[in-house]
């Protein structure tokens, strides 16, 4: 299904994103699914850049779920302190690691159901794992994807689950991941929260700019 009347046409949006952000990818550095999972925990209320400064030392000290499940909590707190909310994050990392060891033999599962059954893992994080690590079509809706989707008229909702449904109808399944990654980049770089740069945007002529003052 294509986006409704007045919305930026799907064909134009997809072509523009492919042109503007051909190399879009997840910005959290990682060498395997577990590292990306931990990085997403640390990225809550924190920039990807700051998380990337913390994770190399973290994974040098603790090599995987079995190490982190049994690590001293205060030592993890110290290692992740600069990402903010470090007590909660250290606790979450330990619980997540323990669940992976207990339920999945220390491996990150590959299905939405198993991922979202892990402590602290929501649909957005599970979608990031599926798309970035396992090549499974997935549409993670973060604040940037949600904002741009609303402005271009592809959703009337602010609820991530509903936005995901709307996007899933507008974009071919095999392009979900690249689309969401590129749209997120557009939201970070051009269609920013305050004062979006519409005059510099390749969608300027086609976009209804919903909610933009």
Interface contacts to ligand SF4, rule CB under 6 A: 148, 151-152, 190-191, 196-198, 201, 203-204, 207, 209, 212
Residue nearer to ligand SF4 on the CB measure, 22 or 174 = 22
Whole-number Å distance between alpha carbons of 157 and 139: 16
**What's the closest the beta carbon of residue 197 comes to ligand SF4, in angstroms?**
6
CA-nearest of 172, 171, 142, 180 to 158 is 142
**Is-catalytic flag, 169?**
no
In whole angstroms, the minimum distance from the beta carbon of 201 to ligand SF4 comes to 3
Query: 5, 67, 89, 124: which one is catalytic?
Result: 124
Q: Which of 142, 158, 204, 209 is catalytic?
A: 142
Closer residue to ligand SF4 (CB): 99 or 192: 192
89 within 8 A of 44, measured Cβ to Cβ: yes
Cα 6 → chain centroid: 28
Q: What is Dmax (Cα atoms) for the chain?
A: 56
Q: Is 142 a catalytic residue?
A: yes
User: Minimum CB separation from ligand SF4 for residue 45, in Å?
Assistant: 24
Report, in Å, the least distance between residue 144 CB and ligand SF4: 11
State which residue, 1 or 205, has the beta carbon closest to ligand SF4.
205
Q: Please give the positions annotated as active site.
A: 124, 142
């Amino acid at each position: 299904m294509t986006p409704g009347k007045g919305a930026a046409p799907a064909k134009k949006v997809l072509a523009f994103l492919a042109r503007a952000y051909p190399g879009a990818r997840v910005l959290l550095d990682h060498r395997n699914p577990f590292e990306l999972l931990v990085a997403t925990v640390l990225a809550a209320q924190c920039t990807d850049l700051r998380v990337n400064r913390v994770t190399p030392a973290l994974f040098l000290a603790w090599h995987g779920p079995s190490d982190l499940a049994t690590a001293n909590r205060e030592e993890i707190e110290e290692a992740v302190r600069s990402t903010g909310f470090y007590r909660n994050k250290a606790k979450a990392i330990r619980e997540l690691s323990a669940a992976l060891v207990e339920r999945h033999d220390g491996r990150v599962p590959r299905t939405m159901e198993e991922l979202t059954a892990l402590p602290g893992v929501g649909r957005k994080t599970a979608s990031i794992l599926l798309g970035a690590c396992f090549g499974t079509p997935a549409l993670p809706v973060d604040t940037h994807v949600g904002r741009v989707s609303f402005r271009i008229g592809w959703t009337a909702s602010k609820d991530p689950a509903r936005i995901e449904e709307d996007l899933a109808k507008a974009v071919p399944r095999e392009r979900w991941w690249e689309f969401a990654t590129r749209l997120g980049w557009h939201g970070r770089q051009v269609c920013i929260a305050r004062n979006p740069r519409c005059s510099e945007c390749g969608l300027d002529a086609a976009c209804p700019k919903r909610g933009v003052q």
